[in-house]
Amino acid sequence: MEPGRWYRLTAYYRTKDMPRPSERQHVAARIAWLQANGKGAGRQEYAWKTEREGEWTKLSVEAPAPPDAAAARLELRLAYAPTATLWWDDVSFEPVETPAARPVKVATVNLRPLNTGGREGSIERFAELVEKDVPADTDLILLPEGATIVGTGLKYPDIAETVPGPTTERLGQVAKAKNAWLAVGLYEREGTVIYNTAVLLDREGRVAGKYRKVYLPREEMDGGLTPGDSYPTFQTDFGRVGMMICWDVQYADPARALALDGAEVVLLPIWGGSETLAAARAIENHVFLVTSGYDHPTYVMDPMGERMAQAPEGKVAVATIDLAKRYEWPWLGSMRGRFYHEIRRDVPVE
């Protein structure tokens, strides 16, 4: 072992009679770094990246050996599952190249249009600001929640539209012109049902995915909206992205679900909400959090809860994040892997 050199742990497993709700808390492969005298060195590393390959699941992690490490003990664990059977196979531990930086330039918009006359007028205000102030080499652009209704004085049924639809078509032109991914909050109509939806457009302006707000406050339900029922994530050309909307930030499970599904960046179009809880979602899940708000600040936040950039009204916040950068707590190490495997989802909460 070379101190400071990067290594990759890979292990395959399959299970039988595993308790619910998640295998992640029951099955773990991790690296325990050791000094020459056999005592621990640095912090243990969990293999947290998962891929399904038929009936097998592949676990892996890449990490640098601590400065005082001379060896590593590989630990394959089964916990809280007394009736389960676990098989391991193809376990490997090998040196790898130091990961290259993965820079992503993010721009998020702080704009509250007034008296726009309708959906098209509001969206045009956002398009104008993006076209004017977002740098040409931006990778990801975020607009706020309800961008189609703000400044109109209209109600949800008046403003709801299909996806794809007129708003995604106009903002698709903006995304293509900027050669950037773009996310926006709007109100989606599907038949007679209306959702509070966040839509992700790719660099060509095509709809790459959408998320329907799961946690609706009673005011939105009274206004005729229907809640969503899933937390999808989306693979981009720079990494995996998840989306939440406004009231979702008040609850722990939306961000947790996105992180567990591999999201590295969580986008939060938001009308207004707790700044403290928003920071908690970034910290506890070890993800970058990007907000675009009206009564909530507009910022780019790192996995330690620090704001990297913030936009005043009528402006755009721009920050370059590095998805390869390791963020570690001094006494706890990398929290991303620990969070996945140490959370106790098997203990009833009701």
pLDDT of residue 181: 98
Q: d(Cα 188, Cα 163) in Å, to the nearest integer? A: 6
Q: How far is CA 97 from CA 47, 50, 84, 94, in A?
A: 17, 20, 37, 10
Where in the chain is CATH 3.60.110.10? 103-322
| DSSP summary character for residue 97 | P
pLDDT digits (tens, 9 = 90+) for 112-148: 999 998 999 999 999 999 999 999 999 999 999 999 9
Average pLDDT, integer, range 305-311: 98
- This prediction's pTM: 0.93
pLDDT digits (tens, 9 = 90+) for 247-302: 999 999 999 999 988 899 999 999 999 999 999 999 999 999 999 999 999 999 99
Q: How far is CA 22 from CA 42, 82, 204, 224, in A?
A: 28, 15, 37, 34
The amino acid that residue 94 corresponds to is: E
pLDDT digits (tens, 9 = 90+) for 47-74: 988 889 999 999 999 999 999 999 999 9
pLDDT of residue 334: 80
Helical residues (DSSP H) of the chain, grouped into ranges: 119-133, 156-159, 166-178, 218-222, 252-260, 275-285, 335-342
pLDDT of residue 282: 97
Query: CATH code for 103-322?
Result: 3.60.110.10
